[in-house]
Amino acid sequence: MKASSLHGHLDALILSVVEDGPLHGYAIIEALRARSDGALDLPTGTVYPALRRLERTGHLRSEWSNVAGRDRRTYRLTTGGKQALATQRGEWREFRDVVSAVLGTA
Amino acid sequence: MKASSLHGHLDALILSVVEDGPLHGYAIIEALRARSDGALDLPTGTVYPALRRLERTGHLRSEWSNVAGRDRRTYRLTTGGKQALATQRGEWREFRDVVSAVLGTA
DNA sequence: GGCGATATGTAGACTGGCGACATGTTGTCA
DNA sequence: TGACAACATGTCGCCAGTCTACATATCGCC
């Protein structure tokens, strides 16, 4: 699937997979792939900048750790992030319904 | 609704409203607004460039006319445009289902 | 030693939607 | 007559966000 069509919806997807528990970047990419049955295979150049953006806006917070000799930056949802996710879920539903209605793909 | 989330989906929406019969730019904007119950209110700076793009790629063809003293450029779907619309409807369905699945907004 | 998987990141290009602007006509209302 | 909304088309430059390609490093396996 063309991930470029995600434009503007990626943030919600990331927040959504982190909702179930803290994850580091690489694991987030895998979680998105798993949850979408392989349809979403996002490049690191897309995800890592998005994570820093989400941290900058206060929706995520990160913490470094080392697991089996590998450095990990683990992200978790903030309170603001939870609210943002709820808002964005609502916006997604509206967007989805509007586009489906216009396209006649209800 | 934030129309910026349209990114990449606008072409399909335009092709879809033109599918029912030739329309000029201004009427396309109105048709999108009507079909979406007011949710889609696109600025001319978005729609007109998109129409020229769609004509450049051969999905639309245009013709000038004059109605009640006003110049109109009326667009209609080409054969290629019909095929493109069918393809994009399929892509939309997939995109919609994937995002809904990940967000849990099924 | 090499390679694939794990892990993070940046730089620059490209695309597309948006706000602001520019232009002109028609119809309406005071 | 003059102002203003609606009709109608279009451009320009900005900006946000995604992608490609690159850079770096560890671990486990063969």
> Where residue B95 sits, what CATH number does that domain have?
1.10.10.10
CB A74 within 8 A of CB A22: yes
Residues of A in contact with B7 (CB under 8 A): 5, 7-8
CB A2 within 8 A of CB A61: no
Report yes or no on A52 lying in a domain.
yes
Q: Distance between CA B17 and CA B19 in Å, rounded? A: 5
Residue closest to sugar C1' of C21 by CA: B45
Mean of per-residue pLDDT scores for chain A: 96
Which residue type occupies B61? R
Report yes or no on A105 lying in a domain.
no
Gap from A35 CA to chain B (nearest CA, Å): 6
Per-residue pLDDT of chain B (106 residues; tens, 9 = 90+): 766 679 999 999 999 999 999 999 999 999 999 999 999 999 999 999 999 999 999 999 999 999 999 999 999 999 999 999 999 999 999 999 999 999 999 8
Question: Could you say which of B92, B102, B104 has the minimum Cβ distance to residue A99?
Answer: B92
Chain centroid offset of residue A85 CA: 10
Confidence (pLDDT) at B106: 86
Query: Could you report the per-residue pLDDT of A60-103, keeping only the tens digit for each?
Result: 999 999 999 999 999 999 999 999 999 999 999 999 999 999 99
When pLDDT is averaged across residues A31-55 and rounded to a whole number, the result is 97
Confidence (pLDDT) at B64: 98
Q: Distance between CA B104 and CA A48 in Å, rounded? A: 23
When pLDDT is averaged across residues A38-45 and rounded to a whole number, the result is 96
Report yes or no on A91 lying in a domain.
yes
Report yes or no on A106 lying in a domain.
no
Residues of B in contact with A11 (CB under 8 A): none
Q: How many independent structural domains does chain B possess?
A: 1
- B12 lies in which domain range? 3-103
Q: Distance between CA A84 and CA A73 in Å, rounded? A: 22
Q: Does A34 touch chain B (CB under 8 A)?
A: no
Please determine, for residue A5, whether its predicted confidence score (pLDDT) is greater than 90. Answer: no
Question: Could you say which of A8, A39, A93 has the minimum Cβ distance to residue B105?
Answer: A93
Report yes or no on A87 lying in a domain.
yes
pLDDT confidence band for A2 (50 / 70 / 90): low
